[in-house]
């Protein structure tokens, strides 16, 4: 179907159902544009959660991955939340099954449990705090100042980064993001030799060796703002390449280069795109709206507990 026709149909369905489209920076440019044009939002996972909670729509349509849909539902249990493909998940979420995680927590009752947003509703319900990449440093700093020891899950790279920045006592679950884990420090060093003037922007889900080469480490929003605000004309970007759409929009004259995923130990040439984010399409957006399919459902008790740990974050970062 032609893009303009299908986007017109989606806009009409959104209006008819008092629905809003909330998209992450990693989904296709078409979906990002559509979310903004139809009164929704494109943002990082923290702002997606906040927008869904504050909007007056009856239905939230999430273009992203499952944990983003679940977070929207946890914060707005009275609203209908739809995702475009129920199979669109996240390796961090998959790597942290609730039974194993709960056992891990039980073994360390003296630790405050802090989990990344990229987890299931059940894992969030077991946690004391939920954080995002844009808020993890501040929350852990705050907990450290209260003398708390932390149990962190699931991303070992983000956990490692937060631990080294804050000096907090953190016990780390060993999950990782399959996209960010593939960025290679040795190949990045070589690329930098060809572009010594370039700023290096790194999402903290990347390995420590890549983070060590960064000029800016931050959430997707922080990296976009860096492209807009910093003086460099060229940037090497170590995160999902879906983000380039917004970066080009905010800084059309700057040059953006994908950080290398090839190099020693590489198992692919260019992997800088999340296969689950790529499952979001205009076609399944339209069919989801038409059938009200892929609705997120969460056990009310789990929902209530998970809401407590996310709400702490929203209040803390308000
Ligand atoms: P942000 O919270 O920075 O948008 O990251 C979400 C994510 O899944 C990154 O891989
Ligand atoms: Fe999960 Fe990584 Fe995909 Fe983000 S990019 S949704 S962390 S697998």
pLDDT digits 0-9 by tens, 206-242? 999 999 999 999 999 999 999 999 999 999 999 999 9
Domain boundary among 126, 147, 177: 177
Name the pLDDT band for 271 (thresholds 50, 70, 90). confident
Mean pLDDT of the chain: 95
Co-location of 105 and 167 in the same domain: yes
Co-location of 120 and 172 in the same domain: yes
Q: What is the pLDDT of residue 129?
A: 97
Co-location of 154 and 215 in the same domain: no
Q: Dump pLDDT digits (tens) for 90-132.
A: 999 999 999 999 999 999 999 999 999 999 999 999 999 999 9
> What atom of ligand 2 comes closest to residue 240's alpha carbon?
5
Nearest ligand, measured from the Cα of 66:
2
Q: What residues line ligand 1, using a CB cutoff of 6 Å? A: 44-46, 118, 132-134, 177, 205, 219-220
Co-location of 213 and 227 in the same domain: yes
Co-location of 134 and 167 in the same domain: yes
Nearest ligand, measured from the Cα of 64:
2
- Residue 124 in domain: yes
Measure CA of the first residue to CA of the last residue in the chain; give whole Å: 42
- Residue 311 in domain: no
- Residue 66 in domain: yes
- Residue 184 in domain: yes
Q: What is the pLDDT of residue 265?
A: 63
Co-location of 114 and 132 in the same domain: yes
Domain boundary among 152, 177, 202: 177
- Residue 54 in domain: yes
> What atom of ligand 2 comes closest to residue 205's alpha carbon?
7
- Residue 7 in domain: yes
Co-location of 157 and 233 in the same domain: no
Q: What CATH code is carried by the domain that includes residue 244?
A: 3.40.50.10800
Co-location of 204 and 245 in the same domain: yes
Co-location of 188 and 244 in the same domain: yes
How many distinct structural domains can be found in the chain? 3
- Residue 171 in domain: yes
Name the pLDDT band for 1 (thresholds 50, 70, 90). low
Dist CA 10 CA 289 (whole Å):
8
Co-location of 85 and 96 in the same domain: no
- Sign for the pseudo-dihedral over CA of 135, 276, 298, 36: positive
Q: What is the pLDDT of residue 46?
A: 82
Whole-structure pTM value:
0.94
Q: Which domain holds residue 42?
A: 2-89+277-297
């Amino acid at each position: 179907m032609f893009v303009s026709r299908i986007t017109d149909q989606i806009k009409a369905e959104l209006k008819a159902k008092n629905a809003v489209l909330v998209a992450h920076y990693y989904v296709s440019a078409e979906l990002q544009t559509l979310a903004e044009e139809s009164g929704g939002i494109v943002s990082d996972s923290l702002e997606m959660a906040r927008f869904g909670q504050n909007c007056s729509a009856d239905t939230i349509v999430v273009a992203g991955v499952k944990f983003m849909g679940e977070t929207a539902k946890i914060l707005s249990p009275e609203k209908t939340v739809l995702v475009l493909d129920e199979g669109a998940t996240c390796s961090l979420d998959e790597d942290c099954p609730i039974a194993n995680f709960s056992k891990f927590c039980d073994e360390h009752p003296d630790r405050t449990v802090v989990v990344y947003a990229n987890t299931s509703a059940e894992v969030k319900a077991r946690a004391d705090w939920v954080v995002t990449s844009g808020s993890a440093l501040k929350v852990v700093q705050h907990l450290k100042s209260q003398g708390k020891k932390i149990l962190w899950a699931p991303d070992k790279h983000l956990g490692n980064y937060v631990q080294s920045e804050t000096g907090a006592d953190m016990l780390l679950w060993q999950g990782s993001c399959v996209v960010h884990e593939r960025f290679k420090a040795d190949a990045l060093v070589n690329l930098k030799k060809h572009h010594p003037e370039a700023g290096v922007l790194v999402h903290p889900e990347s390995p420590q060796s890549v983070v060590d080469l960064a000029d800016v480490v931050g959430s997707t929003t922080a990296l976009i703002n860096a492209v807009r605000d910093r003086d460099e004309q060229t940037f090497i970007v170590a995160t999902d390449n879906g983000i380039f759409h917004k970066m080009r929009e905010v800084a059309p004259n700057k040059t953006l280069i994908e950080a290398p995923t090839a190099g020693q130990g590489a198992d692919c040439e260019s992997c800088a795109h999340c296969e689950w984010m790529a499952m979001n399409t205009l076609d399944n957006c339209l069919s989801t709206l038409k059938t009200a399919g892929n609705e997120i459902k969460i056990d009310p008790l789990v929902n209530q507990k998970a809401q407590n740990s996310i709400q702490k974050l929203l209040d803390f970062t308000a």
